[in-house]
Amino acid sequence: MNLLYKKSFLPALAVALLAASCAGSGPEKTPEQNTAGNSQPTTLKEAFKDDFYIGAALNAGQVMGRDEKAAELVKEQFNTISPENVLKWGPINPRPGVYNFEPADAYVEFGEKNNMFTVGHTLVWHSQAPDWIFEGANGQPASRDTLLQRMENHIKTIAGRYEGRIDGWDVVNEALEDDGSMRKSKWLTLAGEDFIEKAFQYARVADPEAELYYNDYSLWKPEKRDGAVRLVKGLLDKGIKVDGIGMQGHYGIDYPTIDQIEASIEAFAALGVKVMVTELDIDLLPNPTGRQGADIVHTVEAREGFNPYAEGLPDSVQQKLSKRYADIFALFHKHRDKISRVTFWGVADHHSWLNNWPMPGRTSYPMVFDRNYQPKPAFEAIVEAASK
Ligand code: 9MR
């Protein structure tokens, strides 16, 4: 895949080529030249530069100068970013007419300044969507027309504000149930199934150049994979342009299988759209929901029982994590002709949402950088996977 199509890379490329022709050396550090003095690249973006974009989701503090260490690490390691929360409907437009653009503006500027492929997440979602969107007059639910009008206005306002500056939008997020049927969200029940095509149409108008994606979790599940294929094929058949499918990638240490992930990469690529891994992390902690129902567990006793690595990660588990990341990245590397981007959902371990889900206050280790912003053994394992 050619990573140089992004407009803003072109001037950088010209400068790099000019420098190379003057100095007689390549534009980037080559594997032979890296500072560690060995033959492995020292950054993820270098390791995968011929394969796909590689990135991280950033929080508000990281783009607003409150976590310089994370910001530096991101600049060093990644060439694409996603906004963890700042562009979602609730944070950016909590009440009618009230907009909180500052963190989102800072996010987009961060991407622009650092020549990164800048993702927008997300325009239409059932979660982090304030109640007022779905309310009509006199406490009644909003009518279909009102709801679609609000959606159009939202997409026009947000995608329009960043037109030409956001490279790809998660237009619709998580519209499917795990069995592949449409999620019974307020979007579906109040507006009808075509809310999805409307969202894509409005987004295309608001920013004609941006790539537009459908994004969801557990897309490795066969029924949900089929549901996503049906959904996106249906849109494409109607002439609605969908540029890619985002497989979120919130994986466990022992699920899904590599074959399950591979089957989804292949099924989505067969539709002729880009495949992206958009929210990658690997949860090492026991999941209480399997044993105690779906409720979040709040008692200290219960949390202690489910927080086994509060004092640190044993080597044996660290190695398991490395092996798991190695296997997953070997798969991504194998399918680099289909995958356009891989994005971690966070930067270092302490930033991850998995410290607070499905119960608050645990110590989680899902990323490849530790709480001191240092690469974990999984980092080396990933770099190694790129070289095979
Ligand atoms: O990481 C996000 C967390 O900070 C928010 O509280 C949460 C709200 O629902 O959303 C998290 O990000 C989600 C993403 O936007 C969509 N896919 C699932 C992610 C993890 O919940």
Give Cα separations from 126 to 122, 129, 177, 190 (angstroms): 11, 6, 12, 12
pTM of full prediction above 0.75? yes
Which residue, among 149, 156, 34, 165, has the nearest Cα to 110 in the 3D structure?
165
Using CA positions, which residue lies closest to atom 4 of ligand 1?
A: 353
Domain holding 326: CATH number? Answer: 3.20.20.80
* Residue 231 placed within a domain: yes
Determine the pLDDT at residue 305.
78
Q: Are the beta carbons of 366 and 349 closer than 8 angstroms?
A: yes
- Digit-by-digit pLDDT tens for the chain (388 residues) are 444 444 343 344 343 333 333 333 323 333 334 444 456 779 999 999 999 999 999 999 999 999 999 999 999 999 999 999 999 999 999 999 999 999 999 999 999 999 999 999 999 999 999 999 999 988 899 999 999 999 999 999 999 999 999 999 999 999 999 999 999 999 999 999 999 999 999 999 999 999 999 999 999 999 999 999 999 999 999 999 999 999 999 999 999 999 999 999 999 999 999 999 999 999 999 987 654 444 555 665 566 678 999 999 999 999 999 999 999 999 999 999 999 999 999 999 999 999 999 888 999 999 999 999 999 999 999 999 999 8
Determine the pLDDT at residue 22.
34
**C-alpha–C-alpha distance, residues 182 and 346, integer Å:** 28
* Residue 15 placed within a domain: no
Determine the pLDDT at residue 287.
83
Determine the pLDDT at residue 359.
87
Judge if the beta carbon of residue 84 lies within 6 A of ligand 1. yes
Determine the pLDDT at residue 301.
57
Q: Which residue has the tokens 């929080």?
A: 59
How many structural domains is the chain composed of?
Answer: 1
Ligand 1, atom nearest to 122 Cα: 15
Give Cα separations from 146 to 30, 96, 191 (angstroms): 55, 13, 9
Q: Is residue 223 annotated as part of the catalytic site, yes or no?
A: no
Using CA positions, which residue lies closest to atom 3 of ligand 1?
A: 353
* Residue 57 placed within a domain: yes
Judge if the beta carbon of residue 356 lies within 6 A of ligand 1. no
Centre of ligand 1 from the C-alpha of residue 174, in Å:
11
What's at 339, amino acid-wise? I
* Residue 20 placed within a domain: no
- Domain boundaries, position 378: 43-386
Using CA positions, which residue lies closest to atom 13 of ligand 1?
A: 84
Using CA positions, which residue lies closest to atom 16 of ligand 1?
A: 173
Q: Which one of 46, 84, 174, 211 is the catalytic residue? A: 174
**C-alpha–C-alpha distance, residues 364 and 354, integer Å:** 6
* Residue 170 placed within a domain: yes
Judge if the beta carbon of residue 279 lies within 6 A of ligand 1. yes
* Residue 257 placed within a domain: yes
Centre of ligand 1 from the C-alpha of residue 90, in Å:
12
Q: Is residue 279 annotated as part of the catalytic site, yes or no?
A: yes
Determine the pLDDT at residue 15.
38
**C-alpha–C-alpha distance, residues 268 and 339, integer Å:** 10
* Residue 164 placed within a domain: yes
Centre of ligand 1 from the C-alpha of residue 67, in Å:
20
